[in-house]
Amino acid sequence: MLPRVIDSLSFLYLDVVRIHQDDTGVCAEVTTESRGRETVYLPTAALACVLMGPGTSITAPALATFARHGTTVVITGMGGVRTYAATIPANLTTTWLEHQASAWADDTRRLAVATAMYEHRFGPGQAPPDATLQQLRGLEGQRIKALYKLLATQHRIGRFRRNYDPDSWDTQDPVNLALSAANTCLYGIVHAAVLALGCSPALGFIHSGNQQAFVYDIADLYKAELTIPLAFSLHASTHPEAEARRSFRDELRLFGLMPRIVRDLQNLLAPTTSTPPGEDPDEQLVDLWDPVTGPIPGGTNHAPT
């Protein structure tokens, strides 16, 4: 049996390597002048996602193996900054996509999910009764600014201003570099979890107008615990991007992020569902839609006898 998504390893970032399939499995091959050719086999069935940076090539058989094992492949820019494309795992059910689309299409339920996301981050009862989405955004901005100020004071780095500008990447300070790199890794993990449950990365409840809107929604639930404190701890690093990725991966082992994403996502979309939190939906054949009776079994001849 393949590992469930909640049991998967978090992510693997690769650049300047060739990924191919041989008789043993999928491997990454790199050639250097000092050590010659090196080959490392990848645990495809146990990885949630693979981030492929510049200089990486992959063969069709290797990509098919990732898809068959449910491993999401994310194509990124240098250092994991910018996401260009991602694969969709095969054999997905639509159970959670239907929950997501139903809540997203109803303005009242969409606001309820957005409010639940806010209270997930800052505690139950922190959202004022009948708060609008605009008010929630303002409260979120105030809390994040306060967190930046607190961490800047703790690390004695003076005033901090969040700046994400890929076009002037090399001119940014270590905290911004580390935060952008760690956030991209977080986006990759969340993207893998969202796709593994069959949800749409584009149907966001807070973010909108982007193919990763829902990914940003879910990733924001964990930044204050994971990526923001990590970035400030690397304020004196000479290689903040690489250190952020390594430190982030190490922290995830203790944080148990993948099970939390699956559980939180299911609770947000369908808090009253009978599916136990953290469990993957059962595999099923394709059903047929019926406006009267609801889904009916597919793979059956429904012609009158």
Shared domain check, 105 and 134: yes
pLDDT computed for residue 149 by the predictor? 93
- What does the pLDDT look like over 130-167, one tens digit per residue? 888 888 888 888 999 999 999 999 999 888 888 877 66
Shared domain check, 108 and 21: no
- Give the domain CATH number at 171: 1.20.120.920
For 291, the token pair is: 């406006």
Whether the pLDDT of residue 206 is over 50: the answer is yes
The 8 Å CB, 24+ separation contacts for 1-6 are: 2/45, 2/69, 2/70, 3/45, 3/46, 4/279, 4/280, 5/48, 5/70, 5/192, 5/193, 5/196, 5/197, 5/258, 5/262, 5/280, 6/258, 6/259, 6/262, 6/263, 6/278, 6/280
Find how far residue 4's CA is from the centre of its chain: 16
Answer whether residue 15 is part of any domain. yes
Answer whether residue 174 is part of any domain. yes
Mean pLDDT of 198-210: 91
Shared domain check, 135 and 214: yes
Shared domain check, 233 and 188: yes
CA–CA distance, 85 with 25 (Å, rounded to integer): 24
- Give the domain CATH number at 43: 3.100.10.20
**Average pLDDT of the chain to the nearest whole number:** 82
Tell me which residue range forms the domain holding 77.
5-86
Shared domain check, 74 and 119: no
- What does the pLDDT look like over 106-131, one tens digit per residue? 999 999 999 999 999 888 888 888 88
Kindly report which listed range (23-32, 139-148, 253-262, 277-286) carries the lowest average pLDDT score: 277-286
For 38, the token pair is: 């090196």
The band of 220, judged by pLDDT with boundaries at 50, 70 and 90, is very high
- What does the pLDDT look like over 223-252, one tens digit per residue? 999 999 999 999 999 999 889 988 887 777
Answer whether residue 281 is part of any domain. no
pLDDT computed for residue 32 by the predictor? 75
Domain boundary among 86, 114, 145: 86
Whether the pLDDT of residue 9 is over 70: the answer is no
Higher pLDDT, 206 or 285: 206
- What does the pLDDT look like over 70-89, one tens digit per residue? 788 888 776 555 667 777 76
Whether the pLDDT of residue 204 is over 50: the answer is yes
CA–CA distance, 208 with 211 (Å, rounded to integer): 8
- What does the pLDDT look like over 14-42, one tens digit per residue? 888 999 999 889 999 987 777 788 888 99
Answer whether residue 297 is part of any domain. no
The band of 10, judged by pLDDT with boundaries at 50, 70 and 90, is low
- Number of structural domains the chain divides into: 2
Shared domain check, 160 and 81: no
Answer whether residue 100 is part of any domain. yes
Answer whether residue 298 is part of any domain. no
Shared domain check, 70 and 147: no
Answer whether residue 283 is part of any domain. no
Answer whether residue 220 is part of any domain. yes
Strands 18-21 and 57-58: parallel
The total of other beta-carbon atoms located within 10 Å of residue 189's CB is 28
pLDDT computed for residue 67 by the predictor? 85
| Spatial contact of 29 and 21, defined as CB atoms under 8 Å apart | no
| Spatial contact of 247 and 181, defined as CB atoms under 8 Å apart | no
Determine the residue type at 81.
V
